[in-house]
Structure 1
Amino acid sequence: PDLRVQSTIQFIRKNELNTPILNFALEIEKATVAKKDNLILNVDGMMGAVLRDLGFDIEGLNGFFIIARTIGLCGHWVDQKKNNSRLLRLFDWLVHWGRKDIRDVPPLK
């Protein structure tokens, strides 16, 4: 289990926050773990549920996850510079791997 999820849920329970979406996600986790023990509620799913329970607009939630990824990327960069290790560089063919070739869009009929 993810300790970040467990400690956040403990904090929520201790402060008696109303979290119907998180409660629903935890019920789903019970069903998925019964099928396969590694199908747990991850930190992103838990945070999404909690942020919705706190009233954040669903369209704005991606921003929270982008901020977290950006901070993590900065941390990796600082570690690599501090340890004089090589920064990760991707080959050109790998950078374009996930992109489909641009195609003409057929006109609407």
Structure 2
Amino acid sequence: MRLITLFLLLLLLAIQYPLWLGRGGWLRVWDMQKQVTSQHQRNAELKQRNLKLEGEVRDLKEGTGAIEERARYELGMVKDDEGFVQFVAPAPKTSETPLPPPAAVQPNHRH
């Protein structure tokens, strides 16, 4: 009886192996699902990027507004009758209380 139980247990393990670790097993399916989810996310990001690029291409083909905007912001160009003004943030203020002068170094005399 004990031999039959051991045989059935080994048979059960042999049947379970392909289910968990074999080709098309649960671990592989789980890994593939993770890859599919990751790829869907990447595809959505690329779709958004493509829509943005498509809009830029359309603007460049249809009018000069996009070209002028790029020339202004990326190349710093201005029209003949315009002046270029640049605002810079003020430098951070330093402490208004003067620092005390460094203490004079006293020589170390040994007596």
TM range (shorter): under 0.3
State the TM-score, normalizing by the size of structure 2.
0.26
Q: Which has the larger radius of gyration?
A: 2
Q: Which has the higher contact order (CA 8 A, sep 6+)?
A: 1
What is the TM-score with the length of structure 1 in the denominator? 0.26
